[in-house]
Amino acid sequence: MRRSVLKFGGSSVSDFHKIKNIAEMLKRRVADGQQLIVVVSAMGKTTDELMANVNHLTTAPKEQELALLLTTGEQQTVSYLSMVLNDIGVKAKAMTGYQAGIKTVGHHLKSRIANIKPELFERSFQTNDVLVVAGFQGINDDDEITTLGRGGSDTTAVALAASNQIPCEIYTDVEGVYSTDPRIYKGAKRLEYVSFEEMMEMSALGAGVLETRSVEIAKNYNIPIYLGRTLSNKKGTWIMTRSELLEKKAVTGVALDKNMLHITVSHPLPDNHLLTALFNKLDKGSVNVDMISQIINIEGLQMSFTIKDSDLGQINGILDSLCQEFKALDYKINEEYVKISLIGSGMRDISGVASKAFITLIENDIPFYQTTTSEISISCVIDAEHGDEAVARLSEAFNI
Amino acid sequence: MRRSVLKFGGSSVSDFHKIKNIAEMLKRRVADGQQLIVVVSAMGKTTDELMANVNHLTTAPKEQELALLLTTGEQQTVSYLSMVLNDIGVKAKAMTGYQAGIKTVGHHLKSRIANIKPELFERSFQTNDVLVVAGFQGINDDDEITTLGRGGSDTTAVALAASNQIPCEIYTDVEGVYSTDPRIYKGAKRLEYVSFEEMMEMSALGAGVLETRSVEIAKNYNIPIYLGRTLSNKKGTWIMTRSELLEKKAVTGVALDKNMLHITVSHPLPDNHLLTALFNKLDKGSVNVDMISQIINIEGLQMSFTIKDSDLGQINGILDSLCQEFKALDYKINEEYVKISLIGSGMRDISGVASKAFITLIENDIPFYQTTTSEISISCVIDAEHGDEAVARLSEAFNI
């Protein structure tokens, strides 16, 4: 029996008409002899609506209660989809995260999947052809409901694919992976294949199609991911191991991350306790730090780093409390920066990518303030106002 | 530490303002040195809204999926209430039915509570003063979410009180238990005490304040129930064992049940297989039968019984399939009848209640079509149009 995991995001299940169409598509797949695990998110704006309700009640909801509340969104979607499937003659069963045995560890709202028992699915497939699983959620060792944080439903899908050793198809409202955002640069091309590594850089760097974590899991378990538009006949993009990719271009894509904050911390003395305290607090608050640059010179300590803009509330609290401990501390949060990145599997083989990128930015009068590199990417922090132009100029320069 | 179970129904938590007021009330109780288990229903019309969504998708939702969907309503309420409690400094924890260890057996939508582990509450009370538990729901041995059916949140509350051996307070939108419905008969009096037995008859007979099942559990475990209006200072009604009640009136209350269907089944031959088949189907469909009268005479078999009007869809299906098996079967479903009942602990000691009731009905030109009696009640099926008048005339006749 051929099996796959299929995942449909919130915008793909935003109304009952769409849910019915997805059910019909799944029915055809089952008629074709397949058994499916289908992961769905909360319908459309459900999560936002629940959050709006919370804001009527408290400004600081307890994380445990918030997770319990938000997970009702997916629980409703799986119920609806499974009802429709059964109604049209497909044997289907709806499962919440904990019913699917998704055990998590960590913060209630940013949990990580610890393990999944594939036996449970094996058993359920004996009497069902489609298992509809709530994305984004799990249960921890204290039997408390948790959520997986940003992009959590993708993580659920890929983790289920990994534990069952079957491929994963992720359906969303984009056609696949593009060399860069087509809304920013019209010349962007859809990629037929990308490597896990390239995709990870693209996600981490804000291409916004698929979260890094899920690609990481797929890479570790060597689970190919297909990324395509919901109910579209157009081809999407396969994400797979680099060794299976024939052509390795120096630069495959350009990504622009607008959802970031740039923080600069300075202190007149080179005090390492300060850095330890800062990173301790960031870790406790589950704030993910991206680019880090640190300098110690005669003016003392200076450090810049970037985080997601959704962590603004957290970082304000952290820096305030740090100022209590370190009186001479000075900091600046800049919301007007964006990060532009070049990604390519072939980059490690090809010299000159960095210099070509810098030259392109300089020739176009685009100043850059911080640079980091990985094996297959180069990222620069630039002014938000130059973001779109930088995407276009770099896409041209690298012919992507 | 004094502990109690408090239950708030859907209309008591229908908006965020009400939830906040309840939280403040609970805070005062905790400040007074109490620890509380608080059972809540879904907010206001949530369940109806979810059902309306289902109707967009299918006319015959699978029960398992429907239970999974409907339980999100209470899960949201417990999250909200617990958030507010924590926000105002009360240590509270929200729990779904399965997190509270409420194990059920039976149909997904009409499950019964099999057991509850009080140890779990003991442990949670070590770090919390209020445990907010989702009413109406549990989990079965296959780890499937179930609902307890009509009045399920009351059952949850009383069962939690019973397993923890603590009193139960049920808050609703009525002032307590009345001798009859004050909306029908202005002379109705609020009762300070009623016995479990009287309350069971009143519930079963449609007084609509508290479902029979919950009173039955309270009686079996001898858990006193207080019934009062949410956030009201007026005294409500205590429901307790008959032996503790001093005054035993012949008739304590008059109840009118409008939510019933009267079914008459007839067959030219006195075929007992027919009755066996019928009751088998009723049982499988979880249709509760109330009043039953059966006659076998020269015209064959004739039987009348009443069921809840919410089972109309079920009964139609059952009778149709029965007609396939028994071709000569004839049936009639009458929706224009209501049931009026007199209830009183003292009734078994006092003769003449029945005859006085019949005379009252006859003198007022109110025909009655079927009569049943229990140890502490007499019920008659009458025309719906005479319901209100019958309540008034019988209340006067028995001076209640």
Query: Tens digit of pLDDT for each residue in A167-203?
Result: 999 999 888 888 888 888 888 888 888 889 888 877 7
User: How many structural domains does chain A have?
Assistant: 1
Residues of B with Cβ-Cβ distance to A86 under 8 angstroms: 58, 62, 65
Characterize the bridge pairing of strands B337-343 and B377-383: antiparallel
Residue B63 touches partner A, C-beta closer than 8 Å: no
Characterize the bridge pairing of strands A130-134 and A137-139: unpaired
Characterize the bridge pairing of strands A368-374 and A377-383: antiparallel
| A195 inside domain | no
pLDDT (average), residues A264-273: 82
pLDDT of residue B250: 75
| A347 inside domain | no
Angstrom distance (rounded) from CA A227 to CA A210: 9
Find the CATH number of the domain harbouring A109: 3.40.1160.10
Angstrom distance (rounded) from CA B22 to CA B19: 5
Residue B75 touches partner A, C-beta closer than 8 Å: yes
| A40 inside domain | yes
- Residue B202's pLDDT band (boundaries 50, 70, 90)? confident
Please say if the pLDDT value at position A157 is more than 90: yes
pLDDT of residue A183: 81
What is the residue range of B161's domain? 2-173
Residue A51 touches partner B, C-beta closer than 8 Å: no
Angstrom distance (rounded) from CA A394 to CA A251: 10
Between A62 and A179, the higher pLDDT residue: A62
Please say if the pLDDT value at position B258 is more than 70: yes
Tokens of A200: 């990870």
- Residue B376's pLDDT band (boundaries 50, 70, 90)? confident
Give whole-number Cα distances, B106 to A91, A201, A233, B63, in Å.
21, 51, 45, 12
Contact assignment for B83 to A76 by CB distance below 8 Å? no
Contact assignment for B69 to A80 by CB distance below 8 Å? yes
Contact assignment for A58 to B83 by CB distance below 8 Å? yes
Residue A79 touches partner B, C-beta closer than 8 Å: yes
Residues of B with Cβ-Cβ distance to A56 under 8 angstroms: 16
- Residue B197's pLDDT band (boundaries 50, 70, 90)? confident
Contact assignment for B65 to A53 by CB distance below 8 Å? no
Tokens of A353: 């990518």
Mutate to test the interface with A, among B43, B47, B55, B79 (most CBs of A within 10 A): B79
pLDDT of residue B141: 94
CA atoms within 13 A on the CB side of A189: 12
Distance from CA of A253 to the nearest CA of B (A): 42
- Strongest mean pLDDT among A28-42, A256-270, B319-333: A28-42
pLDDT of residue A355: 77
Characterize the bridge pairing of strands A34-40 and A137-139: unpaired
pLDDT of residue A248: 61
Angstrom distance (rounded) from CA A337 to CA A387: 9
Angstrom distance (rounded) from CA A89 to CA A35: 14
- Residue A53's pLDDT band (boundaries 50, 70, 90)? very high
Q: Which residues pair with A373 in a beta bridge?
A: A378
The pLDDT tens digits for B71-121 are 999 999 999 999 999 999 999 999 999 999 999 998 888 888 888 988 899
The pLDDT tens digits for A358-373 are 889 988 999 888 877 7
Angstrom distance (rounded) from CA B113 to CA A143: 20
pLDDT (average), residues A15-34: 97
The radius of gyration of chain B from alpha carbons, rounded to an integer in Å, stands at 22
Distance of CA A245 to the CA centre of its chain: 23
pLDDT of residue A299: 74
* Angle in degrees, CA B315, B320, B323, rounded to 5: 125
| Contact call for residues A223 and A364 (beta carbons, < 8 A) | no
pLDDT of residue B245: 58
pLDDT of residue B206: 57
Contact assignment for B72 to A69 by CB distance below 8 Å? no
| A126 inside domain | yes
Give per-residue burial for A269-289: e unless 16+ CB within 10 Å, then b: eebeebeebbeebbeeeebeb
Q: At what angle do helices A353-363 and A387-397 cross, to 10 degrees?
A: 130
| A66 inside domain | yes
Can you give the pTM of this predicted structure? Answer: 0.74
Contact assignment for B16 to A56 by CB distance below 8 Å? yes
| A14 inside domain | yes
Contact assignment for A94 to B66 by CB distance below 8 Å? no
- Residue A357's pLDDT band (boundaries 50, 70, 90)? confident
Q: Which residues contact A370 (CB under 8 A, 6 or more apart)?
A: A262, A291, A293, A304, A306, A380, A381
Angstrom distance (rounded) from CA B147 to CA B134: 11
Please say if the pLDDT value at position B227 is more than 80: yes
| B358 inside domain | no
Please say if the pLDDT value at position B216 is more than 90: no
Chain A residue with CA closest to B67: the answer is: A79
Distance from CA of A79 to the nearest CA of B (A): 5
pLDDT of residue A289: 82
Residue A21 touches partner B, C-beta closer than 8 Å: no
Mutate to test the interface with A, among B18, B54, B65, B71 (most CBs of A within 10 A): B65
- Residue A278's pLDDT band (boundaries 50, 70, 90)? confident
Query: Considering chain B, what is the average pLDDT of its residues?
Result: 88
